[in-house]
């Protein structure tokens, strides 16, 4: 039997004017990031609706969440089986799923979008949600590379729009980047930041600049590692061992690129290169391009710089 119940309409009283705290959260997109955000929101007491385009995607995400939440419970409660079981069942009971994005926002305090990194697709989605969501609902994108301002352009609520950028794996990584555009109101910014804290994250504030803080530093570093390897200066394994043991990183850069997804890394870099073609750090990597063209995206496809059991 599935842990998850189907989408039910929440009571109208829950759609009342914006309260201090965000309670009802809709997460659009059930990929790695969307599922992780939905999971952590449910674990931290929020009422969550996770949305994707079809049941296949939703079912896959439910399986991932079930596995991950067991790991979280084990870490949190150790051998206390009863407490762990209660934590898991209460968390999943707070999580409903839907394949109807428009219906899913009718009582949302916050919508977090984590769908495909395509500006037009995101704008189309938000334009539709803007018509359906209550006026108090805050909209946020988890985009890792697109301009929040350009996405917000599709809506009539730029003052209630911002970026909430999480890190993979969401249940483990402690950081949340809270991104504001010039129109983001102080109330909206504070509500997003406070929600991040309620999710158990440490928040940092950032303007709507390419890569925000982490990716602006991380992606050029990862690509420099690929270039080091492409030049034949060191092997993938030695580069990874070096950064783990010499710099104390949990993963080496090539392992991390496999983990994040070579396609994601390439997408981010290509976007920056297009906007700033002369910047050396943003130059495309022929090796990454070749691997992505061959469908070698890293962990998720079973091969990148290394080979994995296919997920
Ligand atoms: N769900 C729940 N718990 C998880 C988990 C998941 N998906 N993945 C790992 N964990 C838990 C494990 O249960 C384990 O708990 P324990 O300490 O009680 O044993 C703990 O995390 C460590 O996991 P593992 O023992 O399996 O493996 P590692 O010690 O190697 O840690 C890692 C795995 C947390 C992924 C670590 O290697 C790491 O921090 N790597 C770097 C990840 C990173 O940099 N992420 C950011 C990428 S950039 C990004 O996301 C932005 C985007 O826009 C591109």
Q: Which pair of tokens denotes residue 27?
A: 């997460």
User: Any catalytic annotation for residue 142?
Assistant: no
Rounded-to-integer distance, Cα 165 and Cα 183, Å: 18
Nearest to 288 by CA among 225, 201, 199: 225
Q: Closest Cα to atom 38, ligand 1: which residue?
A: 250
- 267 C-alpha to ligand 1 centroid (Å): 23
pLDDT digits (tens, 9 = 90+) for 93-133: 999 999 999 999 999 999 999 999 999 999 999 999 999 99
> What pLDDT sits at residue 182?
98
CA distance 71 to 303: 25
Q: What pLDDT does residue 8 have? A: 36
Quick count: other Cβ atoms within 10 Å of Cβ 100?
12
Measure the CA–CA gap between 249 and 242, rounded to whole angstroms: 9
Distance 311 CA to ligand 1 centre (A): 16
d(CA 290, CA 133) in angstroms, rounded, equals 43
Report the nearest-CA residue for atom 2 of ligand 1: 68
pLDDT of amino acid 175: 98
Given the residues 24, 47, 117, 177, select the one marked as catalytic: 177
Q: Give the residue from 118, 122, 155, 127 showing the smallest Cα distance to 141.
A: 122
Tell how far the Cα of 228 is from the centroid of ligand 1, in angstroms. Answer: 25
In degrees, rounded to 5, the angle at the alpha carbon of residue 11 between the alpha carbons of residues 9 and 16 is 120
Q: Is 165 a catalytic residue?
A: yes
Alpha carbon 79 to its chain's center = 30
Give the phi and the psi of residue 94 in degrees, each rounded to 5: -85, -5
Regions of the chain where pLDDT drops below 50: 1-19
Cα 91 to averaged position of ligand 1 atoms, centre (Å) = 20
Per-residue pLDDT at 145: 86
Distance (Å) from CA 173 to ligand 1 centroid: 7
Catalytic one of 215, 285, 301, 303:
215
**136 classed as catalytic:** no
Percent of the chain whose pLDDT exceeds 90: 91
Active site residue 118: no
List the beta bridge partners of residue 141: 113, 163
Determine which residue's CA is closest to atom 43 belonging to ligand 1: 168
Q: Which of 98, 144, 145, 147 is catalytic?
A: 144
Ligand 1 near 171 CB (within 6 A): yes
What is the predicted pLDDT for the residue at 6? Answer: 42
Mapping DSSP to helix (H, G, I), strand (E, B) and coil, where does residue 24 land? strand
The answer to whether the beta carbons of residues 39 and 68 sit under 8 Å apart is yes
pLDDT of residue 311: 57
Query: Given this model, what pLDDT does residue 10 score?
Result: 38
């Amino acid at each position: 039997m599935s842990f998850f119940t189907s989408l039910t309409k929440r009571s109208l009283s829950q759609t009342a004017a914006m309260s201090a705290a965000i309670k009802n959260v809709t997460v659009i997109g059930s990929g790695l990031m969307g599922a992780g955000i939905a999971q952590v929101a449910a674990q931290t007491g929020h009422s969550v609706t996770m949305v994707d385009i079809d049941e296949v995607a939703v079912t896959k995400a439910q399986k991932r969440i079930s596995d991950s939440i067991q790991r979280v419970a084990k870490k949190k409660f150790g051998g206390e089986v009863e407490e762990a079981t209660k934590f898991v069942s209460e968390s999943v009971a707070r999580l409903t799923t839907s394949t109807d994005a428009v219906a899913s926002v009718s009582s949302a305090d916050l919508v977090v979008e984590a769908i495909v990194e395509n500006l037009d697709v995101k704008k189309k989605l938000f334009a539709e949600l803007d018509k359906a969501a209550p006026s108090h609902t805050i909209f946020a994108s988890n985009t890792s590379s697109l301009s929040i301002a350009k996405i917000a352009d599709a809506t009539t609520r730029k003052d209630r729009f911002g970026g909430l950028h999480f890190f993979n794996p969401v249940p483990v990584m402690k950081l949340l980047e809270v991104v504001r555009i010039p129109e983001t109101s102080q109330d909206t910014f504070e509500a997003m930041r406070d929600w991040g804290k309620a999710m158990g994250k440490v928040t940092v504030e950032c303007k709507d600049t390419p890569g925000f803080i982490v990716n602006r530093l991380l992606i050029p570093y990862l690509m420099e590692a690929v270039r080091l390897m492409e030049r034949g200066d060191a092997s993938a394994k030695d580069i990874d061992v070096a950064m783990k043991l010499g710099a104390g990183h949990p993963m080496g850069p090539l392992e991390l690129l496999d983990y994040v997804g070579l396609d994601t890394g390439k997408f981010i870099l290509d976007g920056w290169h297009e906007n700033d073609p002369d910047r050396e750090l943003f130059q495309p990597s022929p090796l990454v391009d070749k691997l992505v063209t061959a469908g070698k995206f890293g962990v998720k496809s079973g091969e990148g710089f290394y080979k994995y059991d296919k997920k």
